[in-house]
Amino acid sequence: LTAVPPADQQDTGCSCGSPLLTLLSDFGDRDYYVGAMKGVILRHAPAARILDLAHQIPPQDVLAAAFVLHHAAGEFPPQTVHVAVVDPGVGTQRRALVLRNRIGTFVAPDNGLLSLVYRWDPGEVRALVAPFVESARLSSTFHGRDLFAPAAARLACGYDLAQVGPVVRDPVLLEATHARVDADGIHGQVIHVDGFGNLVTSVAAGQLPAAPQRTRVILPGNRSIAGLSRTYADALPGRPMALVGSCQLLEIAVRDASAAALLGLRRGDPVRVHGH
């Protein structure tokens, strides 16, 4: 009836202070998946502190997870281990990765989930192989519990990164979303829609024209926004505004409302910016 390991197979030998681990997934808040991963981590690292980043990433949306992971993990102490599981390829030959860079240590499937943290700092990437596997029951459908969680716990307890597996020089990377600049302006796209309906674009603050008041943002359907606001409160309710958001990226927002709903825009839609 159950997959519970007998007590005498439980590994509680870690004495590693109180390491920090975070969890990010598309598992939601009504299944046993998140709880099972927490339990496995605590069996392998009994003193661990486990923090939830987000678990309602849209199902199998690797790009959304990559974005959230980068901007959340970047705030943690660098000794933190981040486990991220959005894994449509579980059970295929896709590799499992460990990445350690100046932000922290990451454990995730090799499907692009680490694209943003890797581009920020490639650090050292290794494929996760045998010794970490709970081999007695490595399932084909839940590597979060059977592979990523025990690996993360051991890394948090000081397991040597070099022994995880071979170096990987070609992790799967999502297509870069950096905005492109040419004579017509800056060509970007919507890369994230947050829970308030704010539209985060790929246009970086550093790419924007020097004069905020002379900036014009062109949206699909020949709509445009003139000027940059400084904050959400600078525009009239119901009026779309453009501003530099907390990720240092250009955002399209509507005060007290959802810009995504009001403008009918979604991830991937093009955005163009020019000064004039």
What residues between 23 and 62 interact with a second copy by CB under 8 A?
Answer: 24, 27-40, 42-43, 46-47, 49-60
In whole angstroms, the minimum distance from the beta carbon of 197 to a second copy comes to: 9
Q: Are 225 and 252 in contact (CB under 8 A)?
A: yes
What mask, x for binding a second copy by CB under 8 A, covers residues 165 to 184?
A: -------------x------
| Both tokens assigned to 227 | 């000027």
Stretch that binds a second copy, among 70-78, 124-132, 165-173, 216-224 (CB under 8 A): 70-78
In whole angstroms, the minimum distance from the beta carbon of 116 to a second copy comes to: 7
E strand or H helix that includes residue 34:
helix 33-44
Residue 226 vs 233, nearer CB to a second copy: 233
Question: How far is it, in rounded angstroms, from Cα 153 to Cα 111?
Answer: 21
In whole angstroms, the minimum distance from the beta carbon of 102 to a second copy comes to: 6
Q: Are 186 and 219 in contact (CB under 8 A)?
A: no
Question: How far is it, in rounded angstroms, from Cα 107 to Cα 218?
Answer: 39
Residue 45 vs 125, nearer CB to a second copy: 45
| Both tokens assigned to 174 | 């999502």
> What are the two backbone dihedrals, phi and then psi, of residue 42, each rounded to the nearest 5 degrees?
-70, -25
In whole angstroms, the minimum distance from the beta carbon of 183 to a second copy comes to: 24
Question: How far is it, in rounded angstroms, from Cα 1 to Cα 212?
Answer: 63
Question: How far is it, in rounded angstroms, from Cα 209 to Cα 218?
Answer: 14
In whole angstroms, the minimum distance from the beta carbon of 115 to a second copy comes to: 11
Show contacts with a second copy in window 87-146 (CB under 8 A): 88-92, 102-103, 116, 119-120, 139-142, 145-146
In whole angstroms, the minimum distance from the beta carbon of 210 to a second copy comes to: 18
Show contacts with a second copy in window 205-264 (CB under 8 A): 230-234, 243, 245-248, 251, 256
Residue 91 vs 158, nearer CB to a second copy: 91
Among 153, 194, 263, 267, binds a second copy (CB under 8 A): 194
Cα distances from 185 to residues 137, 235, 266, in angstroms, run 54, 24, 21
Residue 23 vs 164, nearer CB to a second copy: 23
SS3 261: helix
Residue 30 vs 276, nearer CB to a second copy: 30
* Axis crossing angle, helix 33-44 with helix 149-156, rounded to the nearest 10: 40
